[in-house]
Amino acid sequence: MKIGKYRVTSAFTIVELLVVIVVIGVLAAITVVSYNGITKRATLASLQSDLSSASTKLKSYQTIYGSYPTLDANNCPSAPTVDSNYCLKFSPGNSIATTPFAGYIPNNSTTPQTFSLTLSSNDIQGIITESSKPSILTPAPLNPVADWIATPQGDHYGNYYDPVSKSWANVTRSTPKTIYDPTTQHIYDVPANYLAINPWSAYQPGGTGSAAVIEEARTNYLVNSYGAANNGSFWNNWAKTSTTINPVTTNVSDGVYGSTAQRLQYQAVTGEYGHYLGMLQVTTGGTFTAGETATASFMLKASITGSVAIRLNLYARQGTSNIGAIDNNITTIVTNDWTRYSVTYNTLPSGTDSMMFYLYVSGIDEGDSVDISMDAAQLEKGSFTTSYIPTTTVASTRNADIVNVPTTNWNGSEGSFLAMMQTPPETTATRRMIAWYKDASNRITLGSGANSVCMIVQQTTILKNPCISLTQPYNIFIGRWSNEGDTIISSYNSNSNFQSSTLSPLLMSNYLAYIGSRDGSAEFYNSPIQRLLVYSSSLSNYDVALSSSFISN
């Protein structure tokens, strides 16, 4: 009998096949993630490059033809002069946005002339103006329901834009204002109903993007804040103990606000010892009362030799009698950079009805020289300085910034706020950053003072106000609330602190929300805010770290 032979064939088991499939899936996922990351970085680079190139062409056209062009369907200048040499060319996939910026907006009716250009590539948009670098509106991670980004729309002014809802914030301020940019050492005008915008690098070295400064209402009570116009004010009358040589005063052409600054030059004569130069201005009667706080400020730059002390004196007066004074001694004003110096008088004494702001240079001896320029003088009520309010013959008031945003898809029962900003100047109160209101008795607010960060949650008579003390500089605030309890997180760079308390759900939805302020409230942030994210869930600590890292980078 013949026995047949059988060949034994090896094969994969089910377990081995599953392992192979899993490995292939993991490798594929890694490949997709890596590809998406590389693609996104390439898109961002192309948008930045296209924006910079377009800005160069638009500025060159404006230099030659005297205004920024209108563009035809091919993105070529159609007016005032047709010139194909200045057609805008974009990388594949990039195009001028159609919403919400109207893409390209030239404005030749202002001085200086301005433009803004927005490019889109899928869900990413970038914007550039005549005075800014490219700003990329990159979508935030974890699908926020709102992502308000400070976005320039002109020379140092703009608004918050939300790429999620593709809408602008509603800004209300019926008067113009100004903003000081320390990187250029100049003060810029901001039109009514726009926010003051500075490069984020002006506040955060190496930072990119922009930040908006939202301020309270203030009045400058000095009737001649320029320090240069000879309009009968005291500013042009320098008093001195030495009568042998008059100081030389001239208007300077490089003032911090146009060319209105005044320059004082003085050389001490032989035998002169312990003399001084002074300049003052007195407010009208009835402008101040007992118990108020007043802050005076100057923009100064100087070159000084010898034993010279510079002081800003603030006098409380009743009629012609001095009833109080406070000094800010300045001994290091030897720089060619414009620098703001201020002095605050807390709790004005009884009998106060007007004030005298007095700048003097003292201790002038033989051989000493004084060369000092002054500009943008301001005397306001409050414990800190705000943006400059120009005046010429009478006091002037700047209205408050009110920034209202929609709350579509926000979640009253749980959610998270993330805010990137700078420390507010106020040290005694919680300043409002995001305020979400149903009415006066129902609110969720993320706020900060200079020494703490707080999450205010109120439902009728229930008020929770957990706060965390700040012990080091910080850039990012995070506030969370939920049905199970509210959590406040203060993030300082790579460090975080946590504090919790219980809370019943508010169930707020589609009510009013404000950035940096609240209509009718005395609380304003008064400091730069770059970006605000809102999530409809209470983020985990890991997700908070992820989002914080994203907006800080």
pLDDT at residue 234 in the model: 42
CA distance 216 to 400: 4
Local confidence band at 7 (pLDDT 50, 70, 90 cut-offs) = low
pLDDT over 70 at 71, yes or no: yes
pLDDT at residue 31 in the model: 59
3-state secondary structure of 395: coil
Mean pLDDT check: name the lowest of 329-338, 347-356, 516-525.
329-338
pLDDT at residue 334 in the model: 58
pLDDT at residue 270 in the model: 83
Residue 498: which residues within 8 A CB-CB, separation 6 or more?
487, 488, 489, 541
pLDDT at residue 244 in the model: 46
Contact at 8 Å (CB) between 525 and 160? no
Secondary-structure percent of the chain, ordered helix, strand, coil, rounded to 5: 15, 40, 45
Question: Each residue of 148-200: pLDDT tens digit?
Answer: 999 888 789 999 988 888 788 999 999 999 999 988 888 999 999 999 999 89
Is pLDDT larger for residue 325 or for residue 387?
387
pLDDT at residue 237 in the model: 46
pLDDT at residue 227 in the model: 56
pLDDT over 60 at 100, yes or no: no
pLDDT at residue 276 in the model: 77
Question: Each residue of 218-254: pLDDT tens digit?
Answer: 999 988 787 544 433 444 444 444 444 455 666 677 7
CA angle 107, 112, 114 (to 5 degrees): 35
Containing H/E element for 550? Answer: helix 541-552
Domains, the chain: 22-217 (no CATH), 234-396 (2.60.120.260), 402-552 (2.60.120.200)
Reading the block at residue 342, the tokens are 């201020």
Burial (0-12, 13-18, 19+ Cβ within 10 Å), 12 = exposed
CA angle 454, 459, 461 (to 5 degrees): 100
User: What percentage of the chain has pLDDT greater than the value 90?
Assistant: 27
Contact at 8 Å (CB) between 434 and 515? yes
The reported pTM is 0.80
pLDDT at residue 380 in the model: 95
User: Running DSSP on this structure, what letter comes out for residue 181?
Assistant: E
Question: Each residue of 11-65: pLDDT tens digit?
Answer: 668 777 777 777 777 676 555 544 445 567 788 888 989 999 999 999 999 999 9
Reading the block at residue 430, the tokens are 């919680």
For tokens 């292939």, what's the residue?
Answer: 24
pLDDT at residue 333 in the model: 59
User: Running DSSP on this structure, what letter comes out for residue 337?
Assistant: S
pLDDT at residue 353 in the model: 85
pLDDT at residue 305 in the model: 67
Average confidence (pLDDT) over 317-322: 60
pLDDT over 70 at 502, yes or no: no
Average confidence (pLDDT) over 412-416: 87
Residue 79: which residues within 8 A CB-CB, separation 6 or more?
69, 70
Output the average pLDDT for the chain. 81
Average confidence (pLDDT) over 470-478: 75
Is pLDDT larger for residue 347 or for residue 326?
347
pLDDT at residue 453 in the model: 82
β-pair partners for 296: 343, 379
pLDDT at residue 149 in the model: 93
pLDDT at residue 221 in the model: 92
Average confidence (pLDDT) over 98-119: 77
Mean pLDDT check: name the lowest of 24-38, 405-419, 502-516.
24-38
